[in-house]
Chains A and B, each alone.
Chain A
Amino acid sequence: MATPLRNPIVDTDAPVATLHTASASHVTAAHSTAPAGPVTLGAGNPALHPHATGMDLHLRQLSKRYTGVAALDGVDLHVEAGELVALLGPSGSGKTTLLRVIAGLLHPDAGQVLFGRNDATRLSLRERNVGFVFQHYALFKHMTVAENIAFGLRSRPRSKRPDKATIKRRVEELLGLIQLPGFGDRYPEQLSGGQKQRVALARALAIDPTVLLLDEPFGALDAKVRVELRRWLRQLHERTGQTTLFVTHDQEEALELADRIVVLREGRIEQVGTPDEIYSDPASAYVFDFIGRANVLEGEVRGGRFHLPGHARTFSADGVAEGPAKLYARAHDIAPGNDDEGIGARVTAAYRLADRITLELHVEGQARPVELDFAATPGLTTPAPGSDVRLVPLRYRVYSA
């Protein structure tokens, strides 16, 4: 805690002992009071990232085409210093292309990449000094963990290269930071997937990068390790304050980990927002559908209300164009209602999972089944298949079709 405004990892001038105790106390603190779940407190506010050393990042009108197909189509984005941003989208949405353009692995056809105030568009991968973490780790197989981490520092030109003792100390610090002290002499093949990815991260952090770029960092790991590692990454980010972008196709990962989420679609940004904004206020049917399981009811908008064919109940649809439209609601945002409210539906299947009940329902006039999900409170019986229920969408959104 001696140097609260400096980055404990990259600050080589600070005494080692202080750094170690500082990191150690951070680790325990983080473990006991881990702020799990989406962190939505004022994204990018430097006050919340006391160690912020990252740079802010401007992307201006980035475009990239592959044989005529637009992989990026005029992307504008501003990432604040110290922010943790998820680039979310299905394959082919341009998220990986965007990350590679920022890293300098690909050159954009048009547009600009700015690190702070410096135009980096024409700089090569090597000159940009970004920390890049690959999905499959890309650790140097024939080097030990310590040699992997030291690679960036050792590769510097002689005049800028730290001396051996400094490098060794920095490697030790980073091994502590990734919670693998004593692993320095092992080879990558002796590590588990999660450990490898942590080493890859330490290797990237060792060069004090301008931004940290992670390409599907948890993609090659199994489910349990994935969840552990992303919580750990979130804690690590709280401490280092590195400006970080990561690519994922997993909405759960993006919601849990990121300060802000950028949803991409066919090379364009569909929506940018905090996880809360993205989840509760999706800007389009595409985002709604992608960010979680969605029930869709087809109907039309007349006079500012959404009408479901064959049903009396209408729903507010302010600001939606007249004509065919779709109502989107999540399974847990629909409640069973009394006889005189909601929409009539017939239960086609019922599943009971520990503390939840999931009903699959058929709504008259709708092709797609509707799913309803609620807590199995004591005394509540699961409706039998074939019985009629009433549905009350508590939260929903209407998009024109």
Chain B
Amino acid sequence: MSDVRQRDDLQEPAWLRAILIALAVLAMLALVVLPLLMVLGAAFAKGFGTWLDSLTQPDAVSALKLTLFTVAIVVPVNAVFGIFTAWAVTRFEFRGKQILLSLIDLPFAVSPVVAGLCLVLLFGSSGWFASVLQHYDVKILFARPGIVLATLFITFPFVVRELIPLMQQQGADEELAARSLGAGGWTMFRRVTLPNIKWGLLYGVLLCSARAMGEFGAVSVVSGHIRGLTNTLPLHIEILYNEFDSTGAFAAASLLAGLALITLILKFWLEARHGDALAKSHRRH
């Protein structure tokens, strides 16, 4: 009891604490919760029927399909390469490791628009690979491959960033023990490494999918905005909004927000349930 009292005495005065907490809560309400509620309000302003109608339009459906298609490719690819990269960085010593680590952060550092422009530079009609692409009649820009590539680039760090501190913290002893007991590489990974990193991996995958669904900047540059073909959900929202179809825009936005909320709830559950199995290091995102 005396312990608790002493700690209270050492803290800031009660009124100051109350004010600070209230300010934080107010800021959250004003900046995050209120806009979200307004999106939902605007989406359902003309009733549930209108909301459903605007979402079942062919363009909206195809935008949702493309978004899910992109996520379905990007997330597994980034999960696999994330594991590879985290493995390389935490289990081997090699020259240029620090540089590689900085490069992993690059997609966070550059603006998504710049990332999109890089793709244009590489695969555009006057880009480096233009002649090769023309020869084989492969379309990357203004088509699905471009959207997938742009999203891959932007979301690459999420899984890696989650796994590196986790695997560093766990060390290689268990894996070496498995090797010494005669396990092959695959057995070791499947039965020792993967169970140890699974929650961290899931967490990374979750963040990666949330970002992949919402990515706008880079995708906007490479997509070409072809309705029904290369519009993802965020691009679809922008077009509707620019055309003053606010009900349609907000309906689509509410869908995106709903997906984000589901991600958030899953993330919350993961942290509450398996917090000890996630990396203990400082989180950046």
Residues of A within 8 A of B (CB): 103, 105, 124-126, 128-132, 134, 136, 138-142, 151-152, 155-156, 200, 203-204, 206-207
Contact = CB atoms under 8 A, between A and B. Distances in A.
B177 A155 contact: no
Interface stretch (B68-76, B179-187, B261-269): B179-187
B3 interface: no
A206 B178 CA distance: 13
Contacts of A139: 174, 177
A155 B176 CA distance: 14
Nearest to B173: A138
Contact of A203 (B173, B181, B191, B195): B181
Range for the number of chain B residues in contact with chain A: 10 to 19
Nearest to B181: A152
Contact of B187 (A155, A203, A204): A155
A125 B173 CA distance: 13
B196 A126 contact: no
B196 A152 contact: no
Interface of B: 173-174, 176-184, 187, 191-192, 195-196
14 contacts: A125-B180, A126-B179, A132-B176, A132-B177, A136-B173, A140-B178, A140-B191, A142-B195, A155-B183, A155-B184, A203-B181, A204-B180, A204-B181, A207-B181
A319 B178 CA distance: 52
Contacts of A206: 181
Given A142-B195, A142-B196, A152 B182 contact: yes
B180 A155 contact: no
Contacts, number: 61
Given A126-B180, A139-B177, 6 more contacts: A124-B179, A125-B179, A125-B180, A140-B178, A155-B191, A156-B182
Contacts of A156: 182
Nearest to B194: A142
A142 B274 CA distance: 13
A206 B183 CA distance: 13
B178 A155 contact: yes
A395 B180 CA distance: 46
Contact of A105 (B176, B178, B182, B187): B176
B176 A125 contact: yes
Nearest to A147: B191
Contacts of A124: 179
Q: Closest 3 CB pairs between A and B?
A: A152-B181, A138-B173, A155-B183
A366 B181 CA distance: 55
A131 B180 contact: yes
B196 to A, nearest CB: 7
B173 A141 contact: no
A200 B179 CA distance: 14
A103 B176 CA distance: 10
B144 to A, nearest CB: 39
B174 A126 contact: no
Contacts of B180: 103, 125-126, 128, 130-132, 204
